[in-house]
Amino acid sequence: MDDIYGGKRSDMELVLNRFVQRIKEVRQSMAAETDFDTIEHMLARVKSEESMREKCRRKGLPETAESALTKIYDALGVRIVCSFLSDVYDIRDHIAAEPDYEVVEERDYIRNAKPNGYRSYHMILRSVEGYYIEIQLRTISMDTWAALEHHLRYKKPHVGNQKLIVQELKRCADELASTDVSMQTIRDMLLAEES
Amino acid sequence: MTARLLLAEDTRDLNRALTTVLEHEGYNVVSAYDGQEALDYLSSEVFDALVLDIMMPKKDGLQVLSEMRAAGNYTPVLLLTAKAEVDDRVAGLDAGADDYLTKPFAMKELLARVRSMTRRHDDYAKQRVAFEDVLLDAQTFELSAANTVRLSVREFELMQTLVSHASRPLTVDYLLDSVWRQEDDAQEDTVQLYVSYLRGKLKWVGSHVTIQKSDEGFCLANDKTEL
């Protein structure tokens, strides 16, 4: 079977690595300013052949490089997990100000959480070479919830009902969101006392 | 929901008359004819309120009251006292009664007092309060506007207090009294921190409401009017 990315995979990897490198520089310059490490960890990946083909089928698109690179925006994906809520927005501002990347789309699922409780800040960028990169920015708590919810998503309960499970997962998301704001408040208070 | 009452009254005619009237008002009434029978019901069933005569065989009303309170049962109690003596009423209230009524009484007044007792109970359990675009749910501790978050118990109590006195600034002392009940390690800093938590959470649920601080104290305000 042909490569779904039409031989562009190594180009894509280069674009992805360059973006990650740029974010690492941003992180270092921010740390020099505030004495805080804004990024907890970062993951970057090229979507696998298999899941890209599956996504094309799900969206009713032909399984071609054109679909994978111009109709679907998450062939390249970067997840940036931040320490505090304010870091998410600070990093977002830095990314939006980068001249080599155009912001194509932005969704703030932190201020407007999804009905199931999912929270993240989503951005779709286009690099100068024309590749799309999907960025997910979130705090450690939001990442924790998303990771655990993913483990549970496809498990059907033997007892109790699905609706209750969904409600309870949302409650956990809201409690974590509450803790995020508390931690941010404590950090702001400590920083205000220092200055 | 139908409120469930336990009526403990040893005079059969009066018990029957009261039961009829209360049932007519829509209550679900269980009758007991002496103090021991009342305690037996209390140990095996759940009631929303209790109408308790003081003068009863086996165990009197005051004994029933102090035994149930000692067992951790805080169902609201209306005492019926035959004598108009002050000492009786004081003893009843001290033993944990929520209200009392002196015999003979008007049926209308009994109904009003039972209504007030059961309503109080309902309101505490299910209240949802709102201020401007913010909703606070007392059952789930959920604070919501565009988004929702769960508050901690203290944050909830502070928010509830601010909402129920929305138009009036509350002093740190008042808040320490009503929210922290003068706990030893709660101080002005504690109040300030919890106010900051709530300000942050109000902002992150997307509300326009904030908490203002003035010389007189803390007060909810609509942030939009500030701008």
Report how far residue A154's alpha carbon sits from residue A165's, in angstroms, rounded to the nearest whole number: 12
Q: What percentage of chain B carries pLDDT values higher than 70? A: 94
Strand-pair partners of B32: B8
Chain B residues whose beta carbon lies within 8 Å of the beta carbon of residue A184: 200
Q: Quick one: average pLDDT of B136-165?
A: 91
CB B171 within 8 Å of CB B217: yes
The mean predicted confidence, pLDDT, of chain B is: 87
Give the residue-averaged pLDDT of B18-23. Answer: 94
- Confidence bin at A87 (pLDDT 50/70/90): very high
Range A119-157 burial, b when 16+ CB lie within 10 A, else e: bbbbbbbbbeeebbbbbbbbbbbbbebbeebeeeeeeee
Residue B220 has pLDDT above 90, yes or no: yes
Query: Exposed, middle or buried, A115 (CB in 10 Å: 0-12/13-18/19+)?
Result: exposed
Cα gap B182→A38, rounded to integer Å = 39
The helix (H) or strand (E) run that includes residue A27 is helix A9-34
Q: Which of B146, B150, B200 sits opposite A174 (nearest CB)?
A: B150
Q: B13 and B120 share a domain?
A: yes
Tell me: pLDDT of B7 over 70.
yes
Which chain A residues are within 8 Å of B197, Cβ to Cβ?
181-182, 185
For residue B149, give the nearest of A85, A112, A178 by CB distance.
A178
Per DSSP, what are the bridge partners of residue A103?
A125
DSSP-derived secondary structure letter, A71:
I
* pLDDT tens per residue, range A17-67: 999 999 999 999 999 887 889 999 999 999 999 999 999 999 999 999 999
Same domain, B154 and B112: no
Q: How far apart are CA B127 and CA B137, in angstroms?
A: 7
Cβ partners under 8 Å of residue A156, min gap 6? A162
CA of A185 vs chain B CAs: smallest distance (Å): 6
Q: Cβ B151–A185 below 8 Å, yes or no?
A: no
pLDDT at B226: 46
| Tens digits of residue pLDDT in A120-131 | 999 999 999 999
pLDDT for A157: 67
pLDDT of A36-49, one tens digit each? 899 999 999 999 99
pLDDT at B227: 43
Cβ–Cβ below 8 Å for A112 and B146: yes
Measured in whole angstroms, how far is the alpha carbon of residue A110 from the centre of its chain? 12
Number of A–B residue contacts, CB under 8 Å: 44
Hunting for tokens 């138009």 — which residue is that?
B167
Taking the Cβ of residue B204 and every Cβ of chain A, the question of whether any pair is shorter than 8 Å is answered with: yes
Amino acid at A148: L
Tokens, residue A96: 């939006």
Q: What is the CATH number of domain A9-140?
A: 3.30.460.10
Token couple for B118? 């059961």
- At A122, is the secondary structure helix, strand, or coil? strand
B150, B140 contact by CB (below 8 A): yes
Could you list the residue range(s) of the whole structural domain that residue B54 is in?
4-126
Chain B residues near residue A181 by CB distance under 8 angstroms:
149, 197, 200-201, 204
Q: Rounded to the nearest 5°, which phi and psi values hold at A110? A: -90, -50
- Of the candidates B142, B197, B206, which has its C-beta nearest A185's C-beta? B197
Q: Which positions of A are catalytic?
A: 134
B125 pLDDT more than 60: no
Q: Is B12 on the interface with A (CB under 8 A)?
A: no
Distance in Å, alpha carbon of A27 to nearest chain B alpha carbon? 25
Q: Which of B77, B105, B126 is the last residue of a domain?
A: B126
More confident position, A77 or B2: A77
Residue B120 pLDDT exceeds 80:
no
Chain B residue nearest residue A113, CA to CA: B147
The residue of chain A nearest to residue B196, with distances taken between CA atoms, is: A185
State the nearest Cα–Cα gap between B200 and chain A, in angstroms.
6
In B102-187, alpha helices (H): 107-126, 153-164, 172-178
What average pLDDT does range B64-69 have in this prediction? 90
Task: Look at residue B32 and give its three-state secondary structure.
Answer: strand
Q: Which residues pair with B52 in a beta bridge?
A: B8, B79
Q: At what angle do helices A162-194 and A85-96 cross, to 10 degrees?
A: 80
Residue A118 has pLDDT above 60, yes or no: yes
Is the predicted pLDDT of residue B122 greater than 60, yes or no? no
Listed by start position, the domains of chain A span 9-140, 144-194
CB nearest to B150's CB, from A175, A188, A189: A175
Task: Search chain B and give the residue with CA nearest A185.
Answer: B197
Amino acid at B121: H
For the cut 70, the answer to whether the pLDDT of residue B43 exceeds it is yes
Reply yes or no on whether the pLDDT at B219 is more than 50. yes
Closest CA to A132 of A41, A19, A7, A28: A19
Q: Are residues B135 and B209 in the same domain?
A: yes
Please indicate, yes or no, whether residues B15 and B111 belong to a single structural domain of this protein.
yes
* ipTM > 0.85 for the complex: no
Do residues B189 and B207 share a domain?
A: yes
State how far residue B203 is from chain A, nearest Cα, in angstroms.
9
- Residue B187: pLDDT above 60? yes
Structure confidence at residue B123 (pLDDT)? 54
List the single residue in A with minimal CA-CA distance to B192.
Answer: A189
Q: What is the CATH number of the domain that holds B133?
A: 1.10.10.10
Which residues in chain B are closer than 8 Å to A189, comparing Cβ atoms? 193, 196
Q: Identify the domain boundary among B126, B161, B190.
A: B126
pLDDT tens-digit map of A138-187: 999 999 999 999 988 777 766 667 777 888 899 899 999 999 999 999 99
Same domain, B143 and B98: no
Based on the domain organization, do B23 and B46 belong to the same domain?
yes
Report the number of distinct structural domains present in chain B.
2
Q: Is the confidence at residue B129, as pLDDT, over 90?
A: no
Which residue of chain A is at minimal alpha-carbon distance from B207?
A111
B16 with B52, same domain: the answer is yes
**CATH code for the domain in which residue B107 is found:** 3.40.50.2300
B197/A184 CB distance under 8 A: no
